[in-house]
């Protein structure tokens, strides 16, 4: 059985997309699922036995705000790479770009990767 910590709706503004899209920061929304054994943390009832989801949210925001790439696929990969330092068995990253969805007349445009 695999346990998971899930953080949904991490929001930050970034400069990602085609050259014209990067002139003005636009919103990005990221959902993260970190698969990690939680039994020891639950038994010990100790934060140091688990993954600090506040720290995860800060790392995701930092990647969005401090980098600039063309593809949200690359942004998702960069986030997954950064979160690898937290020791999860695997991570699932969903990056959504709301402005792109609006311009296409659809509800959502997103990329999902698992590492």
pLDDT tens per residue across span 13-52: 999 998 888 899 999 999 999 998 899 889 999 888 888 9
Do residues 91 and 83 make contact, with C-beta atoms less than 8 angstroms apart? yes
Residue 2: per-residue pLDDT: 82
- For the record, the structure tokens of 113 come out as 């990767």
Question: How far is it, in rounded angstroms, from Cα 82 to Cα 75?
Answer: 11
The single residue of 97, 100, 106, 113 carrying the catalytic annotation is 97
99 is catalytic: no
> Is the full-model pTM beyond 0.75?
yes
Residue 1: per-residue pLDDT: 60
């Amino acid at each position: 059985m695999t346990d998971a910590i899930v953080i949904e709706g991490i929001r930050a503004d970034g400069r990602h997309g085609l050259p014209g899209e990067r002139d003005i920061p636009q919103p990005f929304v990221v959902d993260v699922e970190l698969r990690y054994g939680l039994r020891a943390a639950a038994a010990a009832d100790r934060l140091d036995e688990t993954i600090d989801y506040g720290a995860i949210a800060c790392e995701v925001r930092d990647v969005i705000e401090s980098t600039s790439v063309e593809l949200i696929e690359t942004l998702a990969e960069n986030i997954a790479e950064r979160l690898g330092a937290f020791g999860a068995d695997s991570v699932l990253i969903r990056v959504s770009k709301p402005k792109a969805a609006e311009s296409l007349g659809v509800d959502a445009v997103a990329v999902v990767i698992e590492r």
